[in-house]
Amino acid sequence: MAKAKESLVALVQSDHALTVRASVCAKNLADLPFIAMASKAKVVRSVIDQYLELAGVFCTGFLPIWMS
């Protein structure tokens, strides 16, 4: 069975250095703060964690957000 390919989106400030790129890879995100998704988005968070891990990027500075 073929794996589906989905795009992930990185949100950065309009004046951030990454905004001039058409796309970025996981390594480009390595030293940036990561805002963790709410516990309601466990599947999406799991996919992102796996993607980063496979790319050798390990986030340490998680900033959690919560949805009510």
The confidence score (pLDDT) of residue 2 equals 64
The confidence score (pLDDT) of residue 19 equals 92
Query: How does pLDDT run along the chain (68 residues), one tens digit per residue?
Result: 667 777 778 888 899 999 999 888 888 888 887 776 666 677 877 888 888 889 888 766 565 555 54
Nearest of 19, 11, 17, 6 to residue 50 by alpha carbon? 6
What residue type is assigned to position 16 of the chain?
A: H
How far is it, in rounded angstroms, from Cα 27 to Cα 65? 23
The confidence score (pLDDT) of residue 66 equals 55
The confidence score (pLDDT) of residue 60 equals 62
Phi-psi region of 56 (alpha: psi -120 to 50; beta: other; left: phi over 0): left
